[in-house]
Amino acid sequence: MHVDVPTLVLIPAIAAIAPLATRAFGKWIAIPVVIFELVLGIALGPSVLGWVRPDPFIELLSDFGLAMLFFLAGQEIDFEAIRGRPLVRASLGWLISVPLGLAAGWLIDPDAGAVFIGIALTSTALGALLPILRDAGMLRTPFGVSVFAIGAAGEFLPLIAISIFLSGRSPLHAAVVLLAFAGITGVVIWRASRGDGRPLHAAIGATLHTSGQFAIRLVIVVLLALVGLSIVLDIDMLLGAFAAGVIARLLLQGAPEQDRRTIEVKLDGIGFGVFVPIFFIYTGVTFDLEALVEDARTFILLPVFTVLLLVVRGLPSALLAPPGAHLGERIATGLFGATALPIIVAVTTIGVEAGDMDSGTASALVGAGLLSLLLYPLIAIAITRSGTRRPRQESNLRPRD
């Protein structure tokens, strides 16, 4: 396999520079590290300097990084915290977003592209928000739990919609295949949650600080097995990666607290230290800036889609914020809810390959996703920090909250 050596060297160099840039700018403004990864990817990619070019090997690593991003999002979900009203409100907000997204899609592209645009506009980048919320110290707060529930609905439900309506099969056939996947993963989840985990946890503890690293190897097996099952059933692999994260969390449930924390740190190191940055950097590298600026209609669609993300996804999220949330928290909730990129990339890729979406519209939609990730979390964090100076606390949200 031919590998472009400058690309092979520069992408990890960008990944190493990005957190240093975040730290340097942090003296004046808190900028999430993914912003530097995306911007540097665009700057060094073919659209600007041309130092980094698309490469099959790096693309494979990028795909694994995307799968790892969804895996870590699934693993982070605390169903005890978000079940009940937080998840109901989040799901209701997504259901409100669906007709708004489809209507917006139809106005922009009355043909088959409307469905692709509609589904893309209903998504929330939970995997991308996860490190942002964590670095800002918000992940375990009541506000963070509410945003996390919105992100879970905005990431999982669009994946279901992609598998049913964008698979190339009839919706009925796609639903049957999806039910088969749900049945298989459901059995695995039930077994993981009900089985006696003591022998497993003993093996994990015995190899956790040795070269055996059984826990990490087991997690990778679960991830690739579910991704492989998704590919065999011809559904979106991200659904398998997300489900793998949920299963991995259940497998580790009941293990000693110190062991679980150690495993989480190691998985974060593998994910956010290696593969996830490659995905964001490569997304910037492959962003078609020329297609975006060469046509006036396409260029106009960029701000249109950016605003539509706020209207379609952000507004319902803000309106269904937890009772008692003040205006600043509602605005911040809406901004976090309107942050999207990974699913937009997946949807537009499917649409362009199927011939149902032109590359210009796809570039504008991906560009809007990039802008949402660049701007909305930054503004949301600034609003929450200026709106309250109360000490952060661990979430005590329960089903009735």
Distance, CA of 248 to CA of 229 (rounded, Å): 16
HSE at residue 212, side-chain half, CA atoms within 13 A, is 10
> Where do the domains of the chain lie?
56-195+217-251+272-387
Percent helix, strand, coil in the chain, to 5, is 75, 0, 25
Contact indicator for 318, 127 with CB cutoff of 8 Å = no
Tokens of 244: 């793998």
Distance, CA of 71 to CA of 92 (rounded, Å): 24
Q: Which residues contact 310 (CB under 8 A, 6 or more apart)?
A: 334, 335, 338, 376
The CA-based angle 177-183-188, given to 5 degrees, is: 135
Query: What pLDDT does residue 121 have?
Result: 94
Contact indicator for 359, 325 with CB cutoff of 8 Å = no
CATH number of 56-195+217-251+272-387: 1.20.1530.20
Query: pLDDT digit of tens for each residue in the chain (401 aa)?
Result: 677 888 889 999 999 999 999 888 877 877 778 888 989 999 998 988 989 998 889 999 999 999 999 899 888 877 777 777 888 888 899 999 999 999 999 999 888 788 999 999 999 988 888 888 887 778 778 888 888 889 888 988 998 888 888 777 777 888 888 888 888 888 887 777 676 677 888 888 888 888 888 889 999 999 999 999 988 888 888 889 988 998 888 888 877 888 888 998 999 999 999 999 999 999 889 888 887 888 888 889 999 999 999 999 999 999 888 777 788 889 999 999 999 988 898 898 888 888 888 888 888 998 899 899 888 988 998 888 776 554 444 444 343 44
pTM: 0.84
Distance, CA of 103 to CA of 312 (rounded, Å): 10
What Cα–Cα distance (Å) separates residue 272 from each residue in 20, 127, 165, 166, 300? Answer: 15, 10, 31, 29, 34
